[in-house]
Structure 1
Amino acid sequence: MNFKSIPGQERTKRMLQNGLRTDKLSHAYIFAGPLGSGKKEMAKAFVGALFCSRNADDACGECLECRKLAHGNHPDLYWVEPDGASIKIDQIRELQQQFSYRSSTSGTKVYVLNDADRMTVQAANSLLKFLEEPISPAIAILITENGQALLPTIQSRAQWMPFFPVPPVQMKQTLLAEGLSPELVHVAAHLAAGLEAARALIQINWFAETRNVMIQLMKDLAGKQPFVVSVQQKVVKSEVAEHLDTLFDMIMLWYKDMIHVLFGRKQSIVYIDQADWLAKHAFTRDADGWIGCMERTVEARKRLRSNANAQLVLEQFLIGVK
C-alpha cells in the first residue's frame, strides 16, 4: 500500500511525505479520526514509505523491503491490536522486548498500536516510559478514534495527525467506478467517514434492507397506511431492529432531500431512485416543516443513545412527525 492509493487526507499525506523527504520525522505520531477515515491504511502507507529502499517518500511496492511488508513478515514492524477489550501491559512489555533486538537493516523500527485509546492504565504508563526512553531508534504510530482518551503525557510527546471524513462526492466516484449499486453508494457515502467503511456498509445485507424499510415507512407516513403495522412487521420483527441508529441516520438524509428539492437542488438528492416521489411530496411542507422533522429525528437519536425503549422511540417519533 502507498500514499497514492489512499483517497483524501491530503494534508496528512503532505506532512508525512515532507517529513520523509527531509528526514525530519517525529518519534511518535497519533493518527486520530473517525472510524473508516483511512487511519490504518495511512499507517501502512507511511511504514511502507519509511522502509522502501528505492523511493524517499512513498513505497515502490517492488523492492525487498516492500515485499516483506506485503507478505506481513517485516522484522522491523510490530503491530499491536487489543487483546480482547483492551491493550494490556504484557503486550507493551512484549513490544519492549522485541525492540531490544537490533534492527535487521540497522535502521529504525516501527510499532503501531491500533485502538490505542483502549490501553489499560498500566499499559499506557509502560508505553509512556518507552516513548521517553526508547531502547533503539523507533517510531510509534498510535491509531485512535478518540485521541483525547490517551494520557495527556502521551499526547504531549507525539505529533497529532488529524483525519477527517472523506467528502461524499469523492467516495461516490470511486465506489460507482467499482460497479457498486448507485442507490446504496449514495447513502453509504453520506453515512461513512471513508471508503473502506462505506464499502463495508454496502456489502452488508441489513444495510439495503434498512434503506428499503425506511423508504416504506416514510411513504406510509405521507399516505393513509397504518405505519404502526409497518413498524411491527418490517422493523421489530426484522434485522432492522438492531440498527435503528442507522435507520434514523437514513431518515435524516430523507428530510435533507426534501429540502434539496424545495430549493431546486435535485442534483444533491441522496435517494436518487426516489427522485420522482420526492418531487411530488417535498412541497407538502415548507422548509421550516422539514427542519422540524429533522429536529425530531435528532431528538429520537438522542433517546436511543440513552437506552430508551427502541420500539417506543420509533413509534413516538413517527406519531410526532405525522
Structure 2
Amino acid sequence: MVKTWDQLEELQPAVLKMIKNSFVKNRVAHAYLFEGMKGTGKKEIGLLLTKSLFCESLKDDFKPCEDCKNCRRINHGNHPDVHIVEPDGLSIKVDQIRSLQAEFAKKGLESLKKAYLIIHADKMSNSASNSLLKFLEEPNAETVAILITEQPQQILPTILSRCQTLKFHPLSPQIMVKQLVENGVAPQKAPLLAQLTNSIDEALELNTNEWFAQAQKIMLKLYEVLRKNSLEAMVTLQSDWFPHFKDKEQIQRGLDLLLLIFKDLLYIQLDRQEQIVFKGESERLNQFALQTSGRRISEQMSAILEAKRKLAANMNPQLMMEQLVLKLQEGSSFV
C-alpha cells in the first residue's frame, strides 16, 4: 500500500522537513544518501521525493498529488525515467551500474528529468562502486540519485562525500503500535511486535506467523519452569526449546521474547503496567512480579543480554542456553 506524504511525515518528520526545505529553496541535491535501520521508510520516502520531482500537479506545499499520470506510474514501478537498482543475488554488479549509465546517457523519454534509486547501496561490488563514483562526479543538472542503505560504513567515502545524507531514525514503539493497529493487528498484540522489530512489514508477518505464536507459548512455559527447579527447566529445553528454536536468528528471537518477559515484571514492580507488552498474560505476570525482586530481575536481564552476545560470537547454542538457565536460577531460590 502506497503511503502518503502525511503518513510518512509521521514516521520521519525531520527527513520530510529537510526534503520540503530543499524544494522551497530550489536546492534539491543531485545525490542523496538515505541511511537508517530496516523498516524506517527509506524506500517509500525515496519514491515520495521522486514523485515530487515528476508530479504534474504538485501542490503548493510540494506534496505530490498521487493522482497524475507520473505519480501513478511511479507508484506502479513503470515510469520510463525512474530507475530502481537492487542487488542481483548477493551484490549490485558493475553491469547493473553501467546499464544505468547507458540509460541515463539517453535523453529523457518524457522530460529532461531522470531519477534513480539504488536499494542496499552498501552491496555494490568494488567495480560497481567505482563505476557509480564516476557517474556521481559528472552529475546532470536534471538527474537525482537516491542511495539507500542500512550500513553506510560499507560505502566508499568518496561516494558518501558526494551525497547529502539524511538519517532515518528508528520508529518509536508508540508510532509502531498505532501503525500496526491501523493495519489490522489486535491492540493487545501490537505492543509486543513493536518491541521486537522496527519494520511494519516484518511485524505484520510475525503477527500471522504460526512459528512465532508457538515461540511465545514456549517462552512463557520456560519462564514458569525456571521458577521451579533446574531439572525441569533442562527437560523443557530439550523437549520444547531446542526442537523449536533451530537457527541463530530464531534463538535470538527467543532470547528477545524472554528478555521482554523480565522487562514486563520490572514495569509491574515500578507501577508502569501500561508499558507491559505481554498484555494477554498480565494477570500471571502480576503474580510472578510479587515473588521476585527488582535487583534479581536486573541480574537475570543482564544474563540474557550476555547470552545474546555469546550467541552472536558463535558460541554453541545448546551450551549457551544450558548456561543461561543455570544463571537465571542462581541462588537458593528464584527470588
TM (norm. structure 1) is 0.95
Q: Distance in 2 between matches of 1:99 and 1:136?
A: 12
What is the match of residue 205 of structure 1?
210
Residue 309 of structure 1: aligned partner: 316
Counterpart of 1:130 in structure 2: which amino acid? F
Distance 1:58 1:203 in 2: 34
Query: Corresponding residue for 2:332?
Result: none
Report the 3-state secondary structure (helix = DSSP H, G, I; strand = E; otherwise coil) of the residue aligned with 2:11: coil
**AA aligned opposite 2:303:** R
Instruction: Give, as a single letter, the amino acid of the residue that structure 1 aligns with 2:52.
Output: A
Q: What corresponds to 1:51 in structure 2? A: 54
Change (3 A) 1:202 1:81: same
Q: CA deviation at 1:184?
A: 3.4
Aligned to 1:5: 7
In structure 2, distance between residues paired with 1:85 and 1:260:
42
Amino acid at match of 1:258: L
Map of 1:73 onto structure 2: 78
Q: What is the rounded CA distance, in whole Å, between the counterparts of 2:298 and 2:276 in structure 1?
A: 16
Deviation string, structure 1 residues 90-133 (Cα, Å, up to 9, x no partner): 11100100101111332321111100001111111111110011
Which ranges of structure 1 fall in alignment gaps of 5 or more residues?
none
2:189 partner amino acid: L
Runs of 4 or more off by more than 6 Å in structure 1?
none
Q: In structure 2, how many angstroms separate the alpha carbons of the residues matched to 1:71 and 1:38? A: 17
What residue in structure 2 maps to residue 226 of structure 1? 232
Matched, 1:102 2:104: no
Which aligned pairs between 1:149-188 and structure 2 lie closer than 5 A?
149-188=154-193
Within the candidate set 320, 326, 330, 1:319 is matched to: 326
Deviation at 1:5, TM superposition (A): 3.0
Partner of 1:259: 266
Helix, strand or coil: the match of 1:110? strand
Q: Deviations over 1:30-69 (max 9, x none)?
A: 1111111111111121212221111142221211111221
Q: Which amino acid aligns with 2:165?
A: W
Amino acid at match of 1:302: R
Q: 1:279: Cα distance to partner?
A: 1.1
Residues 151-193 of structure 1: per-residue CA shift (max 9 Å, x gap): 1111111011111111111111222233323443221101111
For residues 289-320 of structure 1, what are the alpha-carbon distances to aligned partners after superposition, in whole Å with 9 as ceiling and x for unaligned? 11111111111001111111112211211111
SS at match of 2:90: coil
Aligned residues: 321
Q: Which moved more, 1:130-139 or 1:28-37?
A: 130-139
Distance in 1 of aligned mates of 2:54 and 2:203? 30
Give the distance between the partners of 2:261 and 2:37, measured in 1 at CA: 23
Instruction: Give 1:271 shift.
Output: 0.7
Q: Distance in 2 between matches of 1:236 and 1:185?
A: 27
Correspondences of 1:87-126 after superposition (within 5 Å)? 87-126=92-131
Whole-Å separation in 2 of the counterparts to 1:29 and 1:197: 26
What is the CA-CA distance between 1:136 and the residue it aligns to?
6.2
